[in-house]
Structure 1
């Protein structure tokens, strides 16, 4: 999934210098405005645009959710837990190269463009820098990938699988999801994602007929991503009238320097949130990886939907509000905080309840051990929602990048320590417990730091205002 002085944003500067951490004290500014005042912050036009984005994302994400689930009972009964573990291990391995290619460009670019999306010169410059930067990093990551896959025996054993998975990294270079996000045109992104899922679903039923065909699962996903990414790239250039120009060396180096904090934050966040399957595959068995993957599959789908709504549809609105003033940005976050938290609690409770039914229906008796995994990780939608609201939308929008990085780094240490203690003894259950514990630690740390800086997001007064405001806005929207 930032940079500005406390009072205003310099929309042409994507510097990640932390200007606010030493002097920020928000609560002293009487930051609990009445409902009437909030109506000017989330106007009807803004809420309509947000509602349209979320509605299109939701409807298309339902299809994205259902299509892969259609293939699960078919695929897992053919390939079994071990090969399912290999597929997910390969994806976790390639995810590190995806992280390198993204670098931190996506979030910083959304923040820069969304704050002043009518500035064509800014959009052209950022677009050119990001595309060239990602292309250079793809070359570097390909060299590293080739060396590891060839010289490390445990990777060379399944090198064709890893190559099939890595092909999809080309799509990371060309899919400008960050541009769609900044321009608040996320319905198109959801449509492209749905097309990918349809293509993958069709190829799975065609090509996977025996256990040895499992490799085609990742290959079909990679090829679909590449094709759709190129289409999305071309459409974005024409739709947003982007003019590409090769950036100067000094300009490109500045982009790398400015976005470096976000890159290292992504690295440490990936260590505690995205390395569970990879570490389990290295220090345990493919069976444990398969069981863990099955238990976390539906939670991953729920998390993806939350990410679409909060980090893609909502983040540009927050960035634009903070671009106007710190007060407006915080009021937007406070308005949405309690409804989002309640929704996440309901999702987590639902996942806990349906765990036995879901595993039995979609995976069968061989995956019975995945039920306990699913019930443990059913808490993750709550932590993801709170992480987004407190960390991404609040801390990063207030330019608390360094503090965000420090908390994420400590979370990585906590995750690695817990995994070292729990993997060999408890396997998939240990990794699931480690993941949830680390996420809770990170969310609590975000909250404590914000309180320390005088930023209060959670108060009973804000709850009353949020309820009243939401009722008024929903009534207006439905009436119109």
Structure 2
């Protein structure tokens, strides 16, 4: 039950994170204008680089280590203070380096660069990884959700013209800082003071750094397509790809919300030498994300062509096609979230996880060179699918000796058959009716009914999981 509740909390928050830009972007783009919006994006991209380096792999590493020692009060407290001290040190170095870069190399936008330092300070006091390790997602999600909603309201109330760019930057950075600060009072009952002489923070540097490599490599996926598109094709192609990618990632957030939820669960079982329990968690989680991601990918494909211009405007006709091409990553990333984030990382097989992500990044760059040249934005979407397939395939190969891949994929056909039936029903509605909010609601309702009924009749494994949950 705890895992299911944590999944619901995390999935809801991921959706909120994805919807926030969709709510605020149309307003901010008009109020600030292209010039000042560009200044914010430019200065924020640089501060993001610095705080990611300062944070290293603490979010993933801290999550796992706290899960290992969750039931031992002294070890849990000692681990927390060591990792938090390490994070404070590395963030301090990153902050000093950032300020030096601003004062030495920045001749323009200096005041905006300085305001962006709020993001680095916020990262230094981020203890969300502790509560993830304790499998207590409610505190993190509820507090951050409240802060996020208040921030959205303040953006509409405070930011009124291009002269308010500084207010906008403070609101975003301040919201991150406030959200992180609100978690500290909850530590009093869970973490106790440990004498400074007993703390050895730098023993965590190397293992955290190993997790930092895939974290920073993953950023390649987020920026390389846009950088290469911006260099090789028109801004219109880049705009179409950006919005298509955001909409696909919105759907993806729900399917992959099990990632950070399952890391502490699996890590604790591994720490208790419950290898059978680790494997059972993998099988159930893989089946669960397949049951969710397959209909999401196929449903998105069914409505994409009409949905994109209706939601974004007629100038985004190409976005629908890009969404259809990129839709398979919903399933592929859902699978790699299980094999990588929920299995390889919690059981300390970080090198294999890093190798898979690095290979995906390399394939992504190479595929983009050719496919963007030939197919522009469609090529970038196809390159994303190829690179994600590479990551998933390598991770499946890495676990071949410890996991039964036959059992892993045993029921796969059931979800794809049910998903195909759902696709046909939703696509038929898409052909007959014009796209509007009512049509979208009808498509979602029909899709859910057809898919759930099909899964129930065909007796897919997720049905047994649902029955067990209802009994509890």
Task: Please indicate, yes or no, whether the TM-score normalized by the shorter chain is above 0.5.
Answer: yes
1:144 to 97, 111, 134: 97
- In structure 2, the CA distance between the partners of 1:87 and 1:424, relative to structure 1 (3 Å rule), is farther
Please state if 1:385 is matched with 2:326. Answer: no
Matches within 5 A, 1:466-477: 470-477=462-469
The answer (yes or no) to whether the contact 1:84–1:290 under 8 Å persists in 2 is no
Q: Distance in 2 between matches of 1:276 and 1:234?
A: 41
Q: Distance in 2 between matches of 1:142 and 1:424?
A: 39
- In structure 2, the CA distance between the partners of 1:60 and 1:103, relative to structure 1 (3 Å rule), is closer
Matches within 5 A, 1:6-405: 48-59=1-12, 63-78=16-31, 87-88=40-41, 90-149=43-102, 157-210=108-161, 217-235=168-186, 237-243=187-193, 246=196, 251-277=200-226, 289-307=238-256, 309-323=257-271, 324-405=273-354
Once the two structures are overlaid, the 10-residue window that deviates more, 455-464 or 413-422, is: 455-464
**How far is 1:248 from its partner?**
6.5
The answer (yes or no) to whether the contact 1:280–1:423 under 8 Å persists in 2 is yes
- In structure 2, the CA distance between the partners of 1:58 and 1:455, relative to structure 1 (3 Å rule), is closer
- In structure 2, the CA distance between the partners of 1:331 and 1:457, relative to structure 1 (3 Å rule), is farther
- In structure 2, the CA distance between the partners of 1:147 and 1:448, relative to structure 1 (3 Å rule), is same
Q: Distance in 2 between matches of 1:205 and 1:266?
A: 33
Q: Distance in 2 between matches of 1:112 and 1:125?
A: 11
- In structure 2, the CA distance between the partners of 1:129 and 1:412, relative to structure 1 (3 Å rule), is same
SS in 2 for 1:459: helix
The answer (yes or no) to whether the contact 2:56–2:211 under 8 Å persists in 1 is yes
- Aligned CA-pair RMSD: 3.5
The answer (yes or no) to whether the contact 2:332–2:392 under 8 Å persists in 1 is yes
The answer (yes or no) to whether the contact 1:176–1:232 under 8 Å persists in 2 is yes
**How far is 1:279 from its partner?**
5.5
- Equivalent residue number for residue 409 of structure 1: 358
**How far is 1:389 from its partner?**
1.0
Gaps of 5+ in 1: 1-47
- In structure 2, the CA distance between the partners of 1:254 and 1:58, relative to structure 1 (3 Å rule), is closer
The structure showing larger relative contact order (alpha-carbon pairs under 8 Å, at least 6 residues apart) is: 1
- Equivalent residue number for residue 435 of structure 2: none
- Equivalent residue number for residue 459 of structure 1: 407
The answer (yes or no) to whether the contact 1:69–1:362 under 8 Å persists in 2 is no
Q: Distance in 2 between matches of 1:178 and 1:218?
A: 25
**Higher helix share goes to which structure?**
2
Q: Deviations over 1:209-247 (max 9, x none)?
A: 446656655442211011111111232x22423436547
**How far is 1:368 from its partner?**
4.3
- In structure 2, the CA distance between the partners of 1:424 and 1:199, relative to structure 1 (3 Å rule), is farther
Q: Deviations over 1:420-479 (max 9, x none)?
A: 44557766444433323211111111112322x353244278549x96765445324324
Count of matched residue pairs:
427
- Equivalent residue number for residue 30 of structure 1: none
The answer (yes or no) to whether the contact 2:95–2:120 under 8 Å persists in 1 is no
